[in-house]
Structure 1
Amino acid sequence: MGKYAKAVHILQKQLMGVVLESLGLSADYLHQDLEQGSQVIAVNCYPPCPKPDLVLGMPPHSDYGTVTVLNQSQQGLEIMDHDGTWHSVPFIQGALIVQAGDQIEVMSNGRYKSTIHRATVNTEKKRLSIASIHSLPIDKKVGPAPELVNEQHPIAYKEGSFSEFLDYISAKGVTEATYIDTLRMH
């Protein structure tokens, strides 16, 4: 594991401990699964585009893992708020952006929401992004933590796994409904 990957892995463990404790769970809840999980590094290059209003660098989506840690070279990341409005994430040189993934939303029984995001392009500048996506083991079924399900918070999600997510996007692509929508119990 390279120096960057190790640093991000340590950050992910610390972030997960804080998230779990904020939910009233033990910081080592799912510890073994987190240790045996995966880390995928995705590097994207978005070249300058003469008509950026006609294209997206990456369509709207959420990441299925637990957390994504992102480093970018230029402005271009946008996130959607609960009203469906897009907001540009400020660019700060060298800053890391942390996004909650679908596994956090499911495990928290909806108390935390995964981040719907997209990438835009620029007319003049190339943008590079490095995303470190962390998830539980590929076949590990993730459902709401039993401690977070009660009369006030009935179970809101079915279980799902990273391999089922991969099957879903292989069949549907990333431009249709998100995989987490198939897990919501409405």
Structure 2
Amino acid sequence: MTFNSIPTIDVTALVAEDPVGRRDVIDELGRAAREVGFVQIVGHGIDPESFAALEDAAKRFFAQPDDAKMKVYIGNSTNHRGYVPAGEEVFAGATPDHKEAYDLSIDLPADDPDYLGGNPLLGPNQWPDLDGFAEPVSKYYDEVFSLGRVLLRAFAESLGEPSDLFDRHVTTPPAQLRLIHYPHDPSAADRPGIGAHTDYEVFTLLRPTAPGLEVVNAEGTWIDVPYTEDAFVLNIGDLLEIWTNGEFTATSHRVRKVSHERYSFPLFFNVDYNTWVEPLTQFVGAGGPRYDGVRAGDHLFAQTAQSFTYLQRRLASGEITLPDNARPLYSLGREAQRSAPAV
């Protein structure tokens, strides 16, 4: 199916656990996941003051001199946390852009067994020495992650399964929050900045501060995601596409080059690192599954390692290796489905 616009869904009944309107919201989310892969949600219940505090913290962090930000350079970490300078991350087909970012995830203690055992995505965050930063960022992370749990249950029900189908897989997942800054660029041409890609996790909850995001439909036409204040952009990720054998689509998206300053705050909701993800039985027809199974954390690490230059250097030196079943970049999603069958 094709689409020419992004639907908006009010999830108030879902968040409030309203038994009257909840089923309608679940059906709407399921339909959007099948037909578009993207939706804007309002009525999500996230406190506007939490987002304002997050945005203020991000602005103060990115306003620092480069040497201050580089003290928490992501390449200093062993679990992919910290500052991402411009040019560090390269998506398939990307054109150069001036984006910078700060990446964090569930903040585990330094003596966490997985971290000590060398897990490439779990462990403590690399917090900057900046007053009033960690607290609002952590608060926002916790609030949006809780919203993600509610939405994950809704997606389970939209698939005809019990609401707790995925709950056991969400204990300490590598669910990343990114603080992204696109500086003012008066010379920017209206062309792709971040190249077309899908997200590697279960789904994404994004709060931008300005327009610029585009998604591709089944005909290959790029559709603007309109900026709506106080709305989250929700999009399906690779793992839900695999779990549903392609019934839910990880729609490819990109960010246009825009001249105005822009901030973007995606939380990539994920399941636990060792969760085995393969097509659910009810979606596998006579032809068998369209996707091989993947370990959730291995898939995320493999895609990340192929798109960050500091990890590419570690791969080249033999310091790290890709998982045995690593998929190439950009092998899932609507664009990939248009060009070749999934494997």
Q: TM-score range by the shorter chain?
A: 0.7 to 0.9
Aligned to 1:178: 330
Aligned residues of 2:204 and 2:267 also touching (Cα < 8 A): yes
> Is 1:159 the counterpart of 2:293 in the alignment?
yes
The Cα shift of 1:116 comes to 0.9
Secondary structure of residue in 2 paired with 1:32 = helix
Higher CA-based Rg: 2
Aligned residues of 1:105 and 1:111 also touching (Cα < 8 A): yes
Q: Distance in 1 between matches of 2:187 and 2:304?
A: 28
CA change 1:70–1:178 in 2 (3 A) is same
Secondary structure of residue in 2 paired with 1:38 = coil
Secondary structure of residue in 1 paired with 2:292 = coil
> Is 1:24 the counterpart of 2:160 in the alignment?
yes
Match of 1:108 among 229, 241, 244: 244
Secondary structure of residue in 1 paired with 2:227 = coil
The Cα shift of 1:138 comes to 2.2
Output the TM-score relative to the length of structure 2.
Answer: 0.49
Q: Distance in 1 between matches of 2:208 and 2:303?
A: 28
Match for 2:256: what amino acid? T
CA change 1:74–1:183 in 2 (3 A) is same
Q: Distance in 2 between matches of 1:139 and 1:52?
A: 42
The Cα shift of 1:52 comes to 3.0
> Is 1:50 the counterpart of 2:186 in the alignment?
yes
For structure 1, the residue ranges without an aligned partner over 5 or more in a row are none
Aligned residues of 1:158 and 1:183 also touching (Cα < 8 A): no
The Cα shift of 1:47 comes to 1.7
Higher percent of residues as strand: 1
Higher mean C-alpha displacement, 79-88 vs 164-173 = 164-173
Q: Distance in 1 between matches of 2:255 and 2:303?
A: 21
Aligned residues of 1:169 and 1:179 also touching (Cα < 8 A): no
Q: Deviations over 1:39-77 (max 9, x none)?
A: 201111112333433753311110011110000111111
> Is 1:126 the counterpart of 2:284 in the alignment?
no
Higher mean C-alpha displacement, 141-150 vs 76-85 = 141-150
Q: Percent identity?
A: 23
Aligned to 2:277: 142
CA RMSD of aligned residues (A): 2.5
Output the TM-score relative to the length of structure 1.
Answer: 0.86
The Cα shift of 1:168 comes to 4.1
Match for 1:149: what amino acid? V
Q: Deviations over 1:73-131 (max 9, x none)?
A: 111111111111111100012211111101010001111101211112322x1000001
CA change 1:158–1:183 in 2 (3 A) is farther
Greater length-normalized contact order (CA 8 Å, ≥ 6 residues apart): 1
Aligned residues of 2:201 and 2:300 also touching (Cα < 8 A): no
Aligned residues of 1:138 and 1:163 also touching (Cα < 8 A): yes
Aligned to 1:14: 150
Aligned residues of 2:306 and 2:329 also touching (Cα < 8 A): no
Q: Distance in 1 between matches of 2:299 and 2:162?
A: 27
Match for 1:127: what amino acid? R
Q: Which portions of structure 1, spanning 4 or more consecutive aligned residues, are displaced by more than 6 angstroms?
A: none
The Cα shift of 1:170 comes to 2.1
Q: Distance in 2 between matches of 1:16 and 1:146?
A: 19
The Cα shift of 1:172 comes to 6.2
Q: Distance in 1 between matches of 2:275 and 2:170?
A: 10
Aligned residues of 1:78 and 1:118 also touching (Cα < 8 A): yes
Secondary structure of residue in 1 paired with 2:144 = helix
Secondary structure of residue in 1 paired with 2:298 = helix
For structure 2, the residue ranges without an aligned partner over 5 or more in a row are 1-105, 107-137, 310-327
For these two proteins, the number of residue pairs brought into alignment is 182
